[in-house]
Chains A and B, each alone.
Chain A
Amino acid sequence: MKALDIIHDANANLLRNKMRSFLTILAIFIGSFVIILSSGINAGVNDFVDKQMNSVGGDGYLEMMNTAASEQVMQMFSQEVKEYNEPNKDENTDFFITEKQLEEARKIDGVKSVDAFKSASVEYIKLKDGDKRYKLNLNLVPRGNLDMDLSAGRKADPDAKEYEIIIPQNLAKSLGFDNPEDAIDKTVQIGVPGTIACYTAIKRADCITLLDAKVVGIQAPGIMAMGGSRANLSLWNKINEINNEGMPAENNSATQATADVDPEKVDEIKEKLKDIGLTAMSVEDEVGQIKTFFDAVLAVLTIFGGIALLAAAIGIINTLLMSVQERTREIGLDKALGMSNFRVFLNFALEAIMLGFWGSVFGIAVSVGIGQAINVFTHNGILKDLPTFTLVIFTPQNLITITLIIMLIALIAGVLPARKASKKDPIDALRYE
């Protein structure tokens, strides 16, 4: 008996009891649909994260805070009660990063440069010759090999004397530049408050200094855009200076630092930084937080899919056991005419596999359809600002792998009924009424 015959017969036998086969396939379909869709989302998230990592690079870029400060930040979101351990006398328990810590950090093997930066607060941004003001979220442009994923212009020069700024694409659009290219080299004004001045000012506007800065780059939508606009060091320092006018100098120290390090040694450098009281985060860590969220959701989905498949597998066993019972005489005849036990086993095992196959084929068809709809929906909705983020991605390898796994599960479910069929004695089976 040839392979094609066996496959043809398996399908023909499934068609003999259409309703029963359909319901069994439906059960498999539900499980496979959930699993295929969650694997599609998983692929989408991974693809996005990878794209971000590739476009941002950032392999050797670390952002650091004093550990005490980052613990305080963490504490804000935690209800955990912690026992108090008295710190060493020379341990830095402040928000500030000390000069000594920076010195030690620079000495770590693999660290190329460390930039400490003080706090800088800004009020708004507007075009030099425009009126519309927008709230501004400003960060420092990073040094090193961190690629900013710009849609136009260049990365701001951290060491340039001129005030340079990179703004996100959607801010550029709001400022009136539909085409990102048009915003390059335009001058914007940043409203910077003076802390002391604002205590005494009658109107808020009276304590705001306007600083001219040149737009040198436009940030493409993506994870980096979540950091807002980016100033170069001289702009940043100028803002800090305006903020702190008239304040005692010791209240104005660095709270954050960035480091450009050897990408190969990121992990060990992070450990060493911890020893000197600095908590460091790489871009990967930050992107990882998004991934962790999706991973948790997908794990739950996959478990549901798995449970559905398990139930479907029991359905397969049930269906085939009924089928074996009904076809007892037929099995007896096959064996009396010289069909081997293994072939009888194969016939039923293949029926199980075909059930799994059709279940996952329908699962794929529906998942791909629904995945496409989800993508259209999210592109116009919640993921509007992240056009590179395709939430559901199906790759042929993924679909084939899942189909094979489901067929394997079906095969395992088919073993018991198929064995039962293959063990039948021909004469007994022929006598079966």
Chain B
Amino acid sequence: MTNQTLLSTHGLRKSYGKRDAKFEALRGINLEIKQGESVAIVGKSGSGKSTLMHLLALLDRPTKGEIHLNGENTSKLRQRKLNHLRNKEFGFVFQSFFMNANDSVLNNVILPLKIDGVGRRERKQRAMHALKIVGLETKAKNKAKDLSGGQKQRVCIARAIVNNPKVIFADEPTGNLDSATGAKIEDILFNLNQEHGITLIVVTHDQELADKCQRQIHIADGHVASDKEGALIEDDKATREIEVYEEEPDEEEGDEEYHEDDDDDEENEEIIDRFLDDENADSDGDGFIDNNTQPHITHVKSKGSK
């Protein structure tokens, strides 16, 4: 995998409410996520995992602190670019699904493509393909509200991957699934991560899923309680454990850079080439993707969609 830092946070704080009702959900988070990594965020209920995910995916703004994306401070990003990121670079699986209940399953999956302005035929093909990946192509015409909990979750995953994102944020993606279906979803996610270098950030209570990730970040009371390399991934890197229980939020821990790996292996080169060939990658010409060597998920795209 690449060694480039994708996301880093610096003294990230988020508080809700005012005065007496004020509650600090995040109290100074410093972490760094590299491109192509798979990261599990674990922690007790109410510890701030979802809040952190929303901030990382740039859906919400921190009360204090900074989030850097590819080294750029995101608080300075223009709305246009934020929209572009949300639509094309990030895929988000919300903890409580969030679907248009009265709309069809297909239309729910199509939504990001529709917002992107993809033509009718192509977006239908791509959405069907994404549904096939999660095993729901037969439910395309059903109303979203008529699905079971697990099926809804899979629709949300289809929606998150339909736009070929470079980062997938998944908040409890297997929370409502039996172990067999859950394992299938895990396969999909890790396939995207390993075969196509997509960065995967998952919130989960499922230790098995967490263990499959390269890293596990433990959140407790709005702090990073521990941040360690996953045990099950055979890697030449040593398992590190960083205690970052600090009181000073503004003190930046993320300065530490991860430069120790990585000889540019052949696979990586190939991915970069594939990315550079892709003209769609920087459609709005804001230059963002040009200095970002994220690969593209080619298997999600159906044939002839281009």
Q: Which chain A residues have a beta carbon within 8 Å of chain B's beta carbons?
A: 1-2, 5, 16, 329-330, 332-341, 343, 425-427, 430
Contact = CB atoms under 8 A, between A and B. Distances in A.
Minimum-distance CB pairs A-B, first 7:
A338-B87, A338-B86, A338-B83, A427-B60, A339-B115, A337-B112, A340-B83
Given A329-B98, A330-B100, A338 B112 contact: yes
A427 B54 contact: yes
14 contacts: A1-B114, A16-B102, A332-B98, A334-B111, A336-B59, A336-B92, A337-B111, A337-B112, A338-B115, A340-B80, A340-B83, A426-B59, A427-B54, A427-B59
B94 interface: yes
Contacts of A1: 114-117
B79 interface: yes
B115 A334 contact: yes
B111 A333 contact: yes
B274 interface: no
Contacts of A425: 60
Given A1-B114, A427-B59, A341 B94 contact: no
Interface string B41-73: 000000000000010000110000000000000
Interface string B102-139: 10000000011011110100000000000000000000
Given A333-B99, A336-B98, A337-B92, 20 more contacts: A1-B114, A1-B116, A5-B114, A333-B111, A334-B115, A335-B86, A336-B86, A336-B92, A337-B111, A337-B112, A337-B115, A338-B83, A338-B87, A338-B88, A338-B115, A425-B60, A426-B59, A427-B59, A427-B60, A430-B98
B85 interface: yes
Nearest to B90: A338
Given A1-B114, A2-B117, A334-B111, A341 B98 contact: no
B100 A340 contact: no
Contacts of A340: 79-80, 83
Contacts of B159: 337
Given A1-B117, A2-B117, A343-B115, A337 B79 contact: no
A430 B94 CA distance: 10
A338 B163 CA distance: 11
A15 to B, nearest CB: 12
Contacts of A5: 114
A333 B98 contact: yes
B84 interface: yes
Contacts of A343: 115
A337 B111 CA distance: 8
B170 to A, nearest CB: 14
Nearest to A16: B102
Nearest to A12: B103
Contacts of A337: 86-87, 92, 111-112, 115, 159
Contacts of B83: 338-340
Contacts of A339: 83, 87, 115
Contacts of B99: 333
Contacts of A334: 111, 115
A338 B112 CA distance: 7
B259 to A, nearest CB: 33
A14 B75 CA distance: 37
A338 B84 contact: yes
Contacts of B114: 1, 5
A246 B220 CA distance: 127
Nearest to B87: A338
Nearest to A343: B115
A332 B59 CA distance: 10
B51 to A, nearest CB: 9
B222 to A, nearest CB: 17
A49 B257 CA distance: 87
Interface string B155-194: 0000100000000000000000000000000000000000
Contacts of B98: 329, 332-333, 336, 430
Contacts of A332: 98
A333 B117 contact: no
Contacts of B79: 340-341
Contacts of A430: 94, 98
B293 to A, nearest CB: 22
A338 B114 CA distance: 10
Contacts of A16: 102
A5 B117 CA distance: 9
A332 B54 CA distance: 13
A22 B273 CA distance: 56
A335 B80 CA distance: 12
